[in-house]
A and B are shown apart, each in its own frame.
Chain A
């Protein structure tokens, strides 16, 4: 064994050590970024589990006095967040109805005409839209819907404000997904004499459905926790409201209301826990759908 191989062996060991060190550091840092989620979950579960019972899901929010009596007697606060759950479902559902078709159509256009001048402008505008602060959208909802159309605070106005918010994420995820679908698929359909619109609706869109759907669900979970736009548009309601032209409650609005009432502090944690759980579920659904409907080429 001569000296040069000894040196290279030593170098190799040094490199392997560096490699290992770097890998472990990456693993550690990746783990570190998931720590906040677990801390949040831990905190919410620790403080919020007390209030979670069956009535939490079908009763409306308690008032100060019910809460005060319960807190002084060290009991569970009666009532739940049913008005918020129903409101959130209706408002987010309406917003999705507005934003999903528009977003998918826009995304399809961008994917089909990725180099066009007009497409460039549209893409730029959609990116700009993504940066509009949520409170500004609330003001827009107030000016566009609350004052002239419903003549008062309404769930509909909240839906419109939130739909604008979820639009960009749907557009971009649709565009990116459709771009990844091979052209040969489309060409095959067209060469068999299938009209263009049928090719798009029956071949291209279904092939990308998993990507599009996960974009949609991410958009929904993005808006489900928004409070600022709803304060200016939906206002909140103590009763379960299914009329979209009337004020409506939502879970984030309830959390804000609980925050303002010293007796209802315990409810903040439970409502937050439920909201987080709802959004985690949506995300997991998106993952499951993406896995199940993935098309192999």
Chain B
């Protein structure tokens, strides 16, 4: 019994000691963000760098774009993260003015599993046909017409899509709605959709796994998953008529057009000549007025410093190493301009 009492006292003492560290938050110790899983590998990497360089812990939780927006709305994070920008209706629902800061670009690719790993070309019409179930065989005349050099097998096409709500689905369906009237009418744009055909799988890893295990499968995944697992991906014909392979350069090129001042822009079906057509920015979202929920000035300053660093060259050069594309200069400049509008108690932080 004595031993047991001693043990209990020790446990209580240790826990009380560790819990006392939390008082007095004048100085920022931790910056917390939550949201999109799509850029999470990139964020995890650069935030770890930042923590070891500046001694400030940055915590990022991949709880999905929707979760990121809700966390910011509930004012419980320093920044949210989302793959889809907030539309005007959603912006109006937020308790304060919200700013979007693009951090990098990512691509959604059509990945497939065919014997011999041929390099396929796809036109928007083929994409519509395959993903809507109009084309059911790999050796369909429509596919062979675009890929005359490749001998395609007499194999059924298995479409794989996400079963959970996701920013990846949003980007993909945003593109499909732009290139296909049928798609827009029947399936539409959104984070989770009613699919005409195919198998559902959970998360990008789930879709990637299902594709690699199913001969004849095709599905859409974030490019980093296809590259990391070495799954073949299709070249896509863009608006200018060129077949573009997804790569750091072609994804970055898709953002070469005009970007609005608030950076809320959809890049899918870009008119850039060498741009990959299913590309998208991913954004950090913050409040313009940083004085909310008892935040200290230091907390606000540190948050802005962090985001400034993310769009700066040190962090941007890490993007390509983890298969994302860096912000083009024009976009980075726009992002800086957005960030300079941030205030604390009405005063500019600049």
A residues with a Cβ closer than 8 A to B are: 63-65, 68, 90, 93-94, 97, 146-147, 151-153, 156, 206, 209, 231-232, 235-239, 241-247, 257, 259-263, 265
The answer to whether B44 touches A238 (Cβ under 8 A) is yes
B180 within 8 A of A: no
Give 6 pairs: A residue, B residue, CB < 8 Å, sorted on A: A153-B76, A238-B59, A243-B30, A246-B57, A257-B40, A262-B228
B61 touches A244 (CB 8 A): no
Tell me the smallest distance from the CB of B298 to a CB of chain A, in Å. 15
Consensus secondary structure, chain B interface? helix
The 8 A CB mask of B108-152 against A (1 = contact, 0 = none) is 000000000000000000000000000000000000000000000
Query: How far, in whole Å, are A89 and B172 apart by their CA atoms in the complex?
Result: 41
Least Cβ distance of B108 to chain A in Å? 15
Taking A93-B11, A235-B32 as contacts, is the C-beta distance between A244 and B41 under 8 angstroms?
A: no
Interface centre among B12, B37, B71, B228 (most CB of A within 10 A): B228
Contact B29 A63 (CB under 8 A): no
- Give CA–CA (A222, B14) in the complex, Å: 23
Identify which of A147, A152, A263 contacts B32 (C-beta below 8 A). A152
With both beta carbons as reference points, the residue of chain A lying nearest to B293 in the complex is identified as A151
B330 at the interface (CB under 8 A from A): no
Contact with A along B312-324 (1 / 0, CB 8 A): 0000001001100
**Residue of A whose beta carbon sits closest to that of B322:** A64
Tell whether, in the assembled complex, residue B15 and residue A64 are in contact, meaning their CB atoms are under 8 Å apart: no
Chain A residues lying within 8 Å of B224, measured Cβ to Cβ, are: 262
Which residues on the B side are within 8 Å of A156 (C-beta)? Answer: 19
Separation in Å of the B95 CB from the closest CB of chain A?
13
B321 near A65: Cβ-Cβ < 8 Å: yes
How far is B70's CA from A147's CA once the two chains are assembled, in angstroms? 12
Q: A238-B48, A241-B57, A247-B59 are in contact. Are A260 and B37 (CB under 8 A)?
A: yes
| B214 adjacent to chain A (CB < 8 Å) | no
Shortest distance between the CB of A126 and any CB in chain B (Å): 24
How many pairs of residues, A versus B, come closer than 8 Å at their CB atoms? 118
Tell whether B229 is near chain A: CB-to-CB under 8 Å.
Answer: yes
User: With an 8 A cutoff between CB atoms, is B213 at the interface?
Assistant: no
Least CB distance, A135 to chain B, in whole angstroms: 13
Q: Which of B1-47 contact A (CB under 8 A)?
A: 1, 4, 11-12, 14-15, 18-19, 21-22, 29-30, 32, 34, 37, 40-42, 44-45, 47
CA separation between A244 and B37, bound complex, in Å?
25
Complex Cα gap A243–B19 (Å): 6
CA distance A238 to B45 in the complex (A): 10
Residues of B within 8 Å of A, CB-based: how many? 48
Contacts of A237 in B (CB 8 A): 57, 59
Cβ 8 A contact of B47, one of A238, A243, A244: A238
Which listed residue (A68, A90, A238, A265) contacts B322, Cβ 8 A?
Answer: A68
Chain A CB within 8 A of B311 CB: no
Give the chain A neighbours of B21 by CB distance below 8 A: 242-243
Does residue B208 face the partner (Cβ distance < 8 Å to A)? yes
Residues of A close to B4: CB separation below 8 A: 209
**Does B63 belong to the interface (CB within 8 Å)?**
yes
CA distance A80 to B87 in the complex (A): 40
Chain A residue at minimum C-beta to C-beta distance from B37: A260
Separation of A33 and B24 alpha carbons in the complex (Å): 53
Residues of B within 8 Å of A94, CB to CB, are 15, 19
Are B203 and A260 within 8 A (Cβ)?
A: yes
**Given contact pairs A151-B76, A239-B51, A239-B59, A260 touches B32 in the complex (Cβ within 8 A):** no
Which residue among A246, A259, A261 has the maximum number of chain B CB atoms within 10 Å of its CB?
A: A261
Encoded as 1 (CB less than 8 Å from any A CB) or 0, chain B from 322 to 335 comes to 10000000000000
A288 to chain B, nearest CB (A): 14
The 9 closest A-B pairs by CB, nearest first: A64-B41, A235-B61, A245-B22, A262-B228, A63-B45, A237-B59, A247-B59, A152-B76, A239-B57
- Partner of A260 from B58, B62, B294 at Cβ < 8 Å: B62
For B44, list chain A residues within 8 Å (CB). Answer: 63-64, 238, 261
Residue with the greatest number of chain B CB neighbours at <10 A, chosen from A151, A209, A259: A151
Report the Cα distance A65→B317, complex, angstroms.
Answer: 13
- For A65, A97, A257, the residue with the greatest tally of chain B CB atoms inside 10 Å of its CB is A65
Taking CB atoms, residues of chain B closer than 8 Å to A232 are: 63
Q: Does B51 contact A238, Cβ atoms closer than 8 Å?
A: yes
Given A97-B12, A231-B63, A246-B29, 13 other A-B residues pairs in contact with their CB atoms under 8 A:
A68-B322, A90-B15, A151-B75, A209-B4, A235-B59, A236-B61, A243-B18, A246-B22, A246-B59, A257-B40, A259-B205, A262-B204, A262-B225
Cβ-defined contact, B22 with A146, below 8 A: no
| A contact residues around B85 at 8 Å (CB) | none
Interface membership of B183, Cβ < 8 A: no
Distance between B168 CB and nearest chain A CB, rounded to angstroms: 12
Q: Is B60 on the interface with A (CB-CB < 8 A)? A: yes
Q: Are A146 and B76 in contact (CB under 8 A)?
A: yes
Q: Is the CB–CB distance between B57 and A63 below 8 Å?
A: no
Contacts of B342 in A (CB 8 A): none
B182 at the interface (CB under 8 A from A): no
Contact of B34 among A65, A235, A260, A262 (CB under 8 A): A235
Q: How far is the CA of A262 from the CA of B221 in the complex (A)?
A: 12
Please state if A63 and B61 are interface contacts (CB–CB under 8 Å). Answer: no
